[in-house]
Structure 1
Amino acid sequence: MNEEITHFKETFKKVQNEVSRFIVGQNDIIEDVMISICCGGHVLLEGVPGVGKTSLVTALSKALSVDSKRIQFTPDLLPSDVVGTQVLIDKGDRRVLEFQPGPIFCNLLLADEINRATPKTQSALLETMQEKTATVANVTHKLPQPFFVMATQNPIENDGTYPLPEAQLDRFFFKLEVGLPSHDDFVEILNRTGGKSIPEVKAVASGEDVLQMGSTLREVPVAPEVQSYLVQIVRATHPEDPESPKSIKQFVRNGASPRAGQAMLSAAKAKALLDGRYHVSEEDVKAVALPALRHRMILSFEGEAEGIKTDQLITEILTSITPKQHASLV
C-alpha cells in the first residue's frame, strides 16, 4: 500500500505544480479541483469574468494528458448539441441511422457559462454526471473513463441566465469560488502574460494515473467517531435536526443530501494522504466542508431576503459541533 500512497502524493504534486506554472495565486483552488478529480467528482467554478476559471481547466487537461472538450453554453444550445444525435447515413444500397457522439464523449468536459443554457439543455448533463452514460434513442452509451465535468458560471449577471436546479447542483462534488488575485499575484500575472513567451503546460500524468489515485483513496480507513462527526455536520444543515444551530432553523429551507456526506468523506481521505497520514481526522472533515456543502443548502425566503451566505452558516455549524458532543454518539 505504501507504493500506492507514494504514487498518489507524487502524482498529485506533479500535476499541481505544473498547473501552478501557468495559473498564478490559485493554489487552494487548484488543490480542491485536483481532489475532486481524484475522487471522481465534478466541479462548479464560480467567479467574475477574467479570473482564470477557463484557463485553469485548460491547463489541467494538458497536465493530465486527457481528451478534453469545451462547450460554450448559450440559450440556443440544444441537448443534442451536448450528447449527440442519430444521423441518417447513406450506405449505398440502404440508409441507416447511426449515432454521432457529441462533445460529452471525452475525459474532461469544460461546460463554460453553464447557467446560460436553458433548463432542457442543462438536464442533458444529469445522466452523464451521475451514471457516466448518455442515452440517445433508447440506447445507452458509456462515456470514456475517467470522466469529469468542470463547469463555470458568473455570479453577478442575471440577464440571459438560468439558475441550475438543485438536482444538478447536488451532482457537483465541489463548488469553488474563484476570487480576484492579490496585488502581488496580479503583478505576476502581468509579468507572465505580457512577456515574450507564455509558460507552457506539459503532460505529467494520465487518465490511468487518476483512476489509480481514486482506487488508492477508497482504501483509506475512517474511524467510526470521525464518520459520526461527518454525519452530524451534514445533518446539522437541516433545520428540522434537533442539533442544528438557531441560524439554520431560521434561514435554511432544505439541507445537504447524503451525497454531500459521500463527497466530504472522499475529499477528507485525500486531505489525509496529502498530509502524510493514512487515517482521516476531524480536521480533514472540517477542511472540505465549505466546498462540499455551500451549494447543497437551500436558503429560506428569510435567508434570501437577509442576504445570508451559506458559508456563514456552515462555519457556524463547524464551530457549534465539538468532539465532546459527537464522541458520545459512537
Structure 2
Amino acid sequence: METLAQIKQLQAQMAASIIGQQKVIERLLIGILANGNLLVEGLPGLAKTRAIKSLAKNIDSQFSRIQFTPDLLPSDITGSEVYFQTDSGSEFKFDPGPIFANIVLADEINRAPAKVQSALLEAMEERQITVAGKTHKMEPLFMVLATQNPVEQEGTYPLPEAQMDRFLMQVNIDYPSVEDEVDVIGLVRQEEQALYTTTNSDEKTATAATNRLAQQVIFDARKEIANITVSPEMARYIADLVYATRTPEKYSDELASWLDLGASPRASIGLDKCARTHAWLAERDQVLPEDIRSIAVDVLRHRISLSYQAQGAGVTSQDVITKIIELVALP
C-alpha cells in the first residue's frame, strides 16, 4: 500500500473514534508529518486528550502522558541522575522521565509554572535533553502535543512567548454540532457495551496492534513531503503574510491598532512545512494559495500579540489573521 493511502487509513481510523472533529484530526496529522509540536486548546470535554490518544493508539509508538500540576518539578519531566548501589560499587545512572517517548501528551500545560514549562523547550526544539551535563537524544519520531484550558484561569500560568513560538500550530477545538453530539452519545454507549462482550481481550489487543501504522510510513511520508514544489511566488506569499503581522500599518490603520507584536521567522518556516503537508494530503505535488490560507490561522494565531484596544473590542487572533489574508495580495 502506498504511503499516502496508509496515512489516509490512519485518518479514517482516528475519525472512527473522534466524532465531528475532522479539522482537528487533519491538523494532528499535519503536525506529525511536518515533524512539529502542537498546542491544542479547547473547553473541557471537547475530546482534546481523546484525539491525541487516538493518534498515538493507531501508530506503532510509545505514548506518554504528563499531567501538569503546580507542584511539578522539571526533573519530573526530563528524568534525573539516580544513585545506585551495587555489589561492584556505586554509580549514578540516568533514569529517563516521561518526555522520552514518541508521542508526549502534556496535559493542561498551563497548570505548571514557567520553570517547568521551560523544561520542554530543549526537547521540543533540539530533540534532546541535558541532565547533569550529559545530553540524551530523543527518539527519531518525537512529538509534543500540549493541551490547555482557556477557562478557569485561577491557578494557571500563561505560557512564555518563547515556548509558544516553538509550537508549529495552535489548534482550537470548538463545540460539535447537535447532530455530531448525538453520534458522540451513541459512540460512547457502544464503547461501554464493548467492555462487557465475551471477546477475548488478548485477541482484541493483537488485532489493534496489527492495525497500527508503522513509524517508517511516517518517515517515508516526510521524504515525499520534502519534495513538494513551492514556487517562488508561493514562497513570497508566505513571507508577505508573515511580514504583514510586523508592518500592519502598510495595509490598514485598523489592523495596525490591533497588533502589538508580529510573528517570528519560525512562522514562515511553519507555514512552508504545513502548506507542503496540506498539499501532499490533497494529492498535489505543488503548493497552491489555498494550502497556505487553510493553515495560516493555526500557524500564526499563537505567534502574534494583540493590543489592549483589540482585546477590549473583543477582536481575536483569528480575526486579525483572517483580515491579513484578505488584505495581502498574491505576488
Indicate which of 152, 156, 162 corresponds to 1:161: 156
Where in structure 2 are there 5+ consecutive unaligned residues? 196-203
- The AA in structure 1 aligned to 2:289 is E
TM alignment of 1:1-330, pairs within 5 A: 7-195=2-190, 196-197=193-194, 202=208, 203-238=211-246, 240=247, 243-323=250-330, 326=331
1:197: Cα distance to partner? Answer: 2.2
Any idea what SS the aligned residue of 2:23 has? helix
Counterparts of 1:7 and 1:131, CA distance in 2: 31
Q: Distance in 2 between the 1:158 and 1:177 partners?
A: 17
- Separation (CA, whole Å) in 1 of partners of 2:232 and 2:124: 30
Contact in 2 for aligned 1:175/1:295 (Cα 8 Å): yes
One-letter amino acid of the structure 2 residue matched with residue 272 of structure 1: A
Please report the TM-score for the alignment, with normalisation by the length of structure 2: 0.92
Taking the aligned partners of 1:258 and 1:269, their CA distance within structure 2 comes to 17
Q: AA paired with 2:234?
A: V
Tell me the CA shift for residue 61 of structure 1: 0.4
Following superposition, the deviation at residue 159 of structure 1 comes to 0.8
Amino acid at match of 1:197: A
| C-alpha separation in 1, matches of 2:217 and 2:283 | 19
Q: How far has the Cα of 1:241 moved from its partner? A: 5.5
Q: How many residues align?
A: 318
Aligned mates of 1:33, 1:244 — CA distance in 2:
33
C-alpha separation in 1, matches of 2:283 and 2:224: 14
| Cα RMSD after superposing both structures | 1.7
For residue 191 of structure 1, what is the amino acid of its counterpart? G
Q: Which runs of 5+ in 1 are unaligned?
A: 1-5
**In structure 2, the residue corresponding to 1:99 is in which secondary structure?**
strand
1:253-277 CA-partner distances (Å, limit 9, x unpaired) = 1111111111111111112122221
Runs of 4+ in 1 over 6 A off after TM superposition: none
SS at match of 1:123: helix
Q: Kindly state the Cα deviation for residue 205 of structure 1 after the two structures are TM-superposed.
A: 1.0
Deviation at 1:94? 2.0
Deviates more, 1:58-67 or 1:201-210: 201-210
| 2:198 corresponding residue in structure 1 | none
* C-alpha contact (below 8 Å) 1:247/1:313 kept by paired residues: no
Deviation track 1:79-128 (CA, whole Å, cap 9, x = no partner) reads: 00000001000022421111100000000000000000111000000000
Counterpart amino acid of residue 310 in structure 2 = G
Q: Shift in Å at residue 249 of structure 1? A: 1.4
Q: Which amino acid aligns with 1:267?
A: C
Contact 2:248 2:255 in 1 (8 A): no
TM superposition score normalised by structure 1: 0.93
Distance in 1, Cα, partners of 2:218 & 2:226? 13
Counterpart-to-counterpart distance in 2, 1:108 and 1:145: 11
- Asked if structure 2 preserves the Cα contact closer than 8 Å seen for 1:71 and 1:103, the reply is yes
Percent same amino acid among aligned pairs? Answer: 37
